[in-house]
Structure 1
Amino acid sequence: MSDQGEMMQNFQPTPGCPIPVRIFADSAVREEVEPWLRTGLVCGVTTNPTLLRRAGLQVSDIAEVARWAAGDGEREVCFQLWGDTAEQQYSNAMRIHELAPGALIKVPVTPAGVTVVSRLHAQGVQVLLTAVYAAKQAAIASALGVRYLAPYYNRMLAAGRDGAAEIGRMASMIPQDGRGPLILAASVKSGRQVVELLDVGVRVLTLPPAVIADLFTDQLTDKAVADFEADIQAAL
């Protein structure tokens, strides 16, 4: 296990203090994600049915995605269940669990999904409650004791909702110090949106690889690095 993985596994939150910022990569494309995994910046990978389809993958590929995404087991990997009924969802969740035993299962915040959560917990499977759009849904996540809840920030904005205010209420309802469910903000489209989310108390985000790259983008940083390189070349 890497030093980062061991640190996060052994991390004990201080009551009343927020946890360190954690970043997941939101993609199922190995070539996009692996360069960021190698940096140590990214602590896990999130997927959903749409991302699997875009990557040209099928359910049978879940085991391979989990293998490269989890590394030596120090990173968290998330896959989303599917099905019209609670029984179908539970059956498909266990199918994912068989393919990727250490993975978190993403469960939509619906009555059928909620029925599945306690059954997954009884099997020792960690849950991420997904498709969250309203602060009131955070009460469900807390009552169920899930590991994460995932509000869709940019989709909230596109629907005309004040996403920052809504997610800020979630963070107020459930302090983000590791003692309860953590908000894992999804549907994040820029570095600017990352800052907006951190400003309202979010500590965990899942970002497309392009948005991870955007965190590094700044003209002044680029100029400073270029100037330092020019100066050391002159000194050599």
Structure 2
Amino acid sequence: MKFFIDTADLDEIREALSWGCLAGVTTNPSLYARTGGKLADFEDHMVKIAKMCGDLPVSAESQAKTTEGMIEEGRHLASLAPNIVVKLPICAESLAATHTLAAEGVRINMTLIFSAPQALLAANAGARYVSPFVGRFDDIGEDGISELANVVTCIQNYDWTGKNVDDEVEIITASVRTPNHVTQAALMGADIATVPFGALKKCLKHPLTDQGMASFDADWAKVVAAQ
């Protein structure tokens, strides 16, 4: 399973890239707002992220509300850098926009997916990525992992050749909160987990690793002291 980082923070992206295990970046309006970014700087900020990431996919979300607006804004966002993927929320307007944009070679990440039927509709419309959310189910006391499993099974049941520019549909596990979300997504065969930097750092940590390192350091200090 590939790791994307779910952030618009340049420093977080830079550090995650340095680890050598990052395969892409996803952003959304909330994440951009958290950086303190202004509307006038949004496009430049997306270009900075895209350049930083080389050829890795970077999702930039359209804020248009009509099909025509999504098509226009999608074309513009895609023109900013060759690795920008246009992110659209699942709805009737975005399905129509995806159908047009995918036919033009624009890659679409369909977001805010909470059910298998939504994911199937997005894939049939031509979405390159479908992003089912996990953590938001947990927030309301429901099981996001079981819903993700339904999406994975349904999407992987079919051949999506000819539906989009790359002839494949990848599942991005989104709204990831914990290392267990990552584990469960990988076990069921989701293609990607897009993870906030805080959660990504949690994936790196384990108390037994910390204990082991402390033990090694203490034993090595004894070796040094004995010289």
TM surpasses 0.5: yes
1:43 has 2:23 as partner: yes
Q: 2:37 aligns with which of 57, 63, 74?
A: 57
1:201 to 173, 189, 200: 189
Equivalent residue in structure 2 for 1:126, among 104, 107, 130:
107
Whether the 8 Å contact between 1:176 and 1:202 is mirrored in structure 2 is: no
The normalised TM-score by structure 2 is: 0.85
The 5 Å alignment of 1:86-97 reads: 86-97=67-78
1:114/1:195 CA distance change after superposition, 3 Å = same
Identity across aligned pairs (percent)?
Answer: 27
Q: Which structure 2 residues correspond to residues 6-155 of structure 1 after superposition, within 5 A?
A: 21-59=1-39, 60-71=41-52, 73-155=54-136
CA distance in 2, matches of 1:176, 1:47: 29
Q: What is the CA–CA distance in structure 2 between the aligned matches of 1:63 and 1:177, rounded to whole Å?
A: 38
Identify unmatched segments of 5+ residues in structure 1.
Answer: 1-20
User: What amino acid maps onto 1:29 in structure 2?
Assistant: D
Point out the structure with max Rg over C-alpha. 2
2:163 counterpart residue number: none
Quote the residue 2:207 is aligned against: 219
Q: Is the contact made by 1:66 and 1:77 (CA closer than 8 Å) also made in structure 2?
A: no
Q: CA deviation at 1:57?
A: 1.8
Measured in 1, the distance between the counterparts of 2:190 and 2:3 equals 11
Distance change in 2, residues 1:123/1:129 (3 Å): same
What residue in structure 2 maps to residue 161 of structure 1?
142
Partner in structure 2 of residue 16 of structure 1 = none
Unpaired stretches in structure 2, ≥5 consecutive residues: 161-167
Deviation at 1:177, TM superposition (A): 10
Deviates more, 1:104-113 or 1:137-146: 137-146
Per-residue CA deviations over 1:40-97 (Å, capped at 9, x if unaligned) read: 1111111011111111223533334333444362311001112221111112222322
Bigger drift between 140-149 and 104-113 goes to 140-149
| Paired residue type of 1:84 | K
Q: Give the Å deviation of 1:164.
A: 1.4
Secondary structure class of the residue paired with 2:127: coil
Q: Is the Cα–Cα contact under 8 Å of residues 44 and 70 in structure 1 kept in the other structure? A: no
Q: How many residues align?
A: 216
Which residue number corresponds to residue 165 of structure 2? none
- 1:44 touches 1:69 (CA, 8 Å); kept in 2? no
Answer yes or no: is the 8 Å Cα contact 1:70–1:77 preserved in 2.
no
Is this contact kept in 2: 1:62–1:100, CA < 8 A?
no
Give me the CA root mean square deviation: 2.3
User: Which amino acid counterpart does residue 33 of structure 2 have in structure 1?
Assistant: R
Show CA shifts across 1:74-123 (max 9, x none).
31100111222111111222232233343000111111001111221233
Question: 3-state DSSP class of the match of 1:174?
Answer: helix
